[in-house]
């Protein structure tokens, strides 16, 4: 690595970090809240330490109503369902990348490797949770590398708010230093040509921040190690951090439907608690002649009866019950309406509608995926330039280098209907189009190769055993000897062997 002599001063670094702390804290708060909901730790379970608990009883200080003792708190995992739907539908099949250069395409495929699909999936998940996810790229002795960085660690600094041109990136994280066993807060400042590293004890202010001498340098002439430094030139044409935005305003998905999820949790858990509480019956004793409740319980168990003192015919002496009435129909309708609204506001596919039948037509399936398709198109439009930037980093190209991307959706489809359409259009469509839309072909390119292989094999068999009726010339050629002469006994006979034919 090359040392950068123009190192950023500590005073400038402190000023930048102090002025960006507010934005960093907002991103951290939004991401962690979205992550809680993604992990099924909704607000309803904050009191139980983030764990869903059923048949949980209230504490004595919280028992304001004797008819309501239970406090079950069960979280509903809508957030993970909606986010995973979005990620699977959009990048279940990674986008194909074409540069019109076979060598460049091969280099891109080799560099992205096997982890590209899982990385892209994680980028969509984190973008949905934080508003923007980040990919960091770097070079070392082993070549080009890339990795997803937690969104709460990255604070971007843009040149202006109109073009979102990235001027620099601040990365902040806490880590244990094994040298002294203490935890430090590390700050990295990446510009378009260099990176500078700082550290300070965790929980301390910026006055304690110093340079982090963590970059090892090697003398290229003598091949000897030099003293570590706190800055180096990264060698990329731009800041080696790539933003993958969730939408144009970089907002997380949760704000669209968090209130609805909280309503569903509140109504559902209230319903559960009432069902548990209804099993408790409060007995009202009027003019009971005894004074001990234990005696009353013993009489009920032994004799199924109790003595009451009646002073008049209408003094209402006796035993009454106090129970809870549950508005089942109203709550059921409210839960159903809220359930539907969560998927409507969250632009997802309601699984209850998909389970209505297995013979849904292709048009009906597309309509069910309509809202999700709108959301997928939005994030595709934001991810496309980011993927292109990654490719340019890999190839070392500038923004003028042409890159074509093809994004394919992953969804449930009616294979029978699709096969029928392909069969009807086979005569007027190209082989490429048929292979692309064949419901049983996962890879169109491989399908075309398999078809060509089958055709070549059929041609070889035809050439070995020609059909004399279909191609007389081929059959005649197959009967020739190695010298090209026909095996005709009459033609091979000598003149003496030929017998005259009597002319009658």
Same domain membership, residue 201 and residue 120: yes
Percentage of the residues of the chain whose pLDDT score is greater than 90: 47
Q: How far, in Å, CA of 269 to CA of 68, rounded?
A: 12
Same domain membership, residue 9 and residue 87: yes
- The angle at the Cα of 250, spanning 245 to 255, to the nearest 5 degrees, equals 125
Instruction: Give the helix/strand (H/E) hosting 171.
Output: strand 166-177
Tell me which of 346-350, 367-371, 428-432 is least confident: 428-432
Half-sphere CA count of 118, side-chain side, radius 13 A:
5
265 belongs to a structural domain: no
pLDDT digits (tens, 9 = 90+) for 255-282: 999 999 999 999 998 888 877 766 555 5
When pLDDT is averaged across residues 203-212 and rounded to a whole number, the result is 93
462 belongs to a structural domain: yes
pLDDT digits (tens, 9 = 90+) for 35-54: 999 999 999 999 888 888 87
Same domain membership, residue 423 and residue 401: no
Same domain membership, residue 388 and residue 371: yes
List the beta bridge partners of residue 320: 284
Q: Of 413, 443, 460, which marks where a domain is finished?
A: 413
| Nearest of 28, 307, 2, 13 to residue 173 by alpha carbon | 28
61 belongs to a structural domain: no
145 belongs to a structural domain: yes
Total Cβ atoms within 10 A of residue 476: 12
195 belongs to a structural domain: yes
Q: How far, in Å, CA of 278 to CA of 195, rounded?
A: 65
HEC readout, 29-94:
HHHHHHHHHHCCCCHHHHHHCCCCECCCECCHHHCCCCCCCECCECCCCHHHHHHHHHHHHHHCEE
List the beta bridge partners of residue 405: 97
Same domain membership, residue 309 and residue 172: no
Q: What CA dihedral angle connects 179, 184, 189 and 195, to 10 degrees?
A: 0
Q: pLDDT category, 314, cuts 50, 70, 90?
A: low
Q: What pTM did the predictor assign? A: 0.74
Judged against a pLDDT cut of 90, whether residue 12 lies above it is answered with: yes
Q: How far, in Å, CA of 378 to CA of 37, rounded?
A: 22
Same domain membership, residue 217 and residue 107: yes
Query: Can you list the pairs that 4-11 forms with residues at least 24 positions away whose Cβ atoms lie under 8 Å?
Result: 4/193, 4/194, 4/196, 4/231, 4/232, 4/233, 6/194, 7/196, 7/211, 7/230, 7/231, 8/189, 8/196, 8/231, 10/198, 10/209, 10/210, 10/211
Total Cβ atoms within 10 A of residue 215: 16
Judged against a pLDDT cut of 90, whether residue 151 lies above it is answered with: yes
Same domain membership, residue 436 and residue 356: no
Q: How far, in Å, CA of 339 to CA of 263, rounded?
A: 10
Q: How far, in Å, CA of 400 to CA of 350, rounded?
A: 42
Same domain membership, residue 169 and residue 84: yes
Same domain membership, residue 318 and residue 455: no
Same domain membership, residue 449 and residue 372: no
Q: How far, in Å, CA of 472 to CA of 257, rounded?
A: 75
408 belongs to a structural domain: yes
474 belongs to a structural domain: yes
List the beta bridge partners of residue 248: none
Percentage of the residues of the chain whose pLDDT score is greater than 70: 71
Tell me the Ramachandran region of residue 144: left when phi exceeds 0, alpha when psi lies from -120 to 50, beta otherwise.
beta
**Domain around 11:** 1-40+76-257+346-413
Q: How far, in Å, CA of 132 to CA of 152, rounded?
A: 10
Same domain membership, residue 403 and residue 446: no
Cβ-contact 201, 185 below 8 angstroms: yes
60 belongs to a structural domain: no
pLDDT: which is higher, 411 or 176: 176
Same domain membership, residue 389 and residue 456: no
What total number of domains does the chain contain?
Answer: 3
List the beta bridge partners of residue 168: 157
């Amino acid at each position: 690595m090359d040392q950068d002599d123009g190192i950023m001063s500590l005073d400038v670094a402190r000023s930048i970090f102090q002025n960006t702390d507010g934005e960093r804290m907002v991103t951290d708060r939004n991401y962690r809240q979205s992550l809680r909901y993604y992990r099924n730790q909704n607000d309803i379970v904050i009191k139980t330490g983030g764990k869903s608990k059923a048949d949980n009883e209230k504490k004595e200080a919280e028992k304001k109503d004797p008819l309501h003792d239970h406090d079950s708190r069960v979280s509903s995992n809508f957030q993970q369902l909606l986010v995973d739907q979005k990620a699977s539908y959009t990048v279940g099949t990674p986008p194909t990348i074409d540069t019109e250069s076979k060598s460049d395409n091969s280099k891109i495929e080799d560099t992205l490797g096997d982890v590209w699909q899982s990385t892209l999936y994680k980028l969509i998940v984190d973008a949905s949770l934080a508003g923007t996810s980040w990919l960091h790229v770097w070079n070392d002795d082993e070549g080009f590398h890339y990795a997803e960085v937690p969104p709460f660690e990255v604070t971007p600094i843009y040149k202006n708010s109109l073009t979102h041109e990235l001027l620099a990136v601040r990365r902040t994280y806490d880590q244990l230093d094994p040298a002294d066993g203490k935890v430090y807060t590390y700050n990295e400042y990446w510009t378009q040509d260099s990176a500078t590293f700082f550290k300070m004890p965790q929980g301390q202010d910026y006055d304690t921040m110093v340079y982090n001498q963590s970059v090892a340098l090697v003398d290229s002439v003598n091949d000897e190690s030099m003293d570590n430094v706190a800055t180096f030139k990264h060698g990329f044409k731009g800041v080696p951090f790539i933003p993958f935005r969730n939408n144009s305003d970089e907002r997380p998905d949760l704000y669209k439907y968090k209130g609805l999820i909280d309503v569903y949790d509140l109504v559902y858990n209230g319903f559960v608690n009432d069902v548990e509480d209804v099993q408790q019956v409060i007995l009202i004793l009027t003019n009971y002649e005894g004074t001990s409740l234990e005696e009353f319980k013993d009489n009920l168990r032994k004799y199924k009866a109790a003595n009451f003192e009646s002073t008049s015919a209408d003094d209402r002496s006796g035993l009454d019950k106090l129970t809870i009435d549950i508005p089942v129909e109203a709550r059921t309708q409210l839960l159903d309406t809220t359930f539907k609204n969560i998927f409507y506001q969250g632009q997802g596919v309601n699984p209850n509608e998909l389970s209505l039948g297995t013979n849904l037509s292709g048009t009906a399936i597309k309509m069910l995926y309509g809202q999700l398709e709108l959301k997928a198109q939005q994030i595709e439009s934001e991810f496309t330039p980011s993927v292109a930037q990654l490719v340019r980093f890999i190839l070392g190209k500038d923004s003028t280098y042409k890159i074509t991307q093809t994004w394919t959706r992953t969804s449930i489809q009616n294979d029978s209907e699709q096969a029928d359409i392909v069969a009807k259009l086979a005569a007027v469509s190209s082989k490429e189009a048929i292979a692309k839309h064949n419901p049983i072909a996962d890879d169109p390119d491989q399908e075309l190769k398999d078809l060509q292989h089958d055709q070549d094999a059929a041609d070889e068999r035809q050439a070995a055993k020609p059909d004399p009726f279909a191609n007389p010339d081929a059959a005649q050629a197959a009967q020739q000897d190695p010298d090209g002469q026909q095996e005709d006994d009459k033609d091979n006979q000598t003149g003496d062997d030929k017998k005259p034919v009597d002319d009658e």
